Amino acid sequence: NPFQNYILADISLADYSGDLNISLYDCNGRLCKEKQLYNTKTGNNFLYLETNNLPSGLYVLHVSTKQFAIRKKMVKP
């Protein structure tokens, strides 16, 4: 899961259509990036998030909707 200048994620939704909130936090809990995907559909949805201005380090990608939330640790070398 290392990333360099961008994060490209395939978010697969089984039974959800609606808006996705995406947040990227650094290891100190500070919000670094935020993006919304509107009107997503059941199935695969692709996220592109530019990260070229972020320093190397550990990050947490947080994806949430009204129905669920997931977190994934990510590393920028």
For the chain, give every domain's residue range: 6-76
Greater pLDDT, 43 or 72: 72
DSSP assignments along 8-68, one per residue: EEEEEESS--EEEEEEEEETTS-EEEEEEEEEE-SEEEEEEEE-TTSPSEEEEEEEE-SS-
Residue 44 scores a pLDDT above 80: yes
- Across the range 5-22, mean pLDDT stands at 90
75, 32 Cβ separation under 8 angstroms: no
User: Which CATH architecture fits 6-76?
Assistant: Sandwich (2.60)
Residue 34 scores a pLDDT above 90: yes
Q: Which amino acid is at 11?
A: I
The three-class DSSP label of residue 77 is: coil
To the nearest whole number, what is the mean pLDDT of the chain? Answer: 93
Joined together, the tokens standing for residue 39 give 């009107």
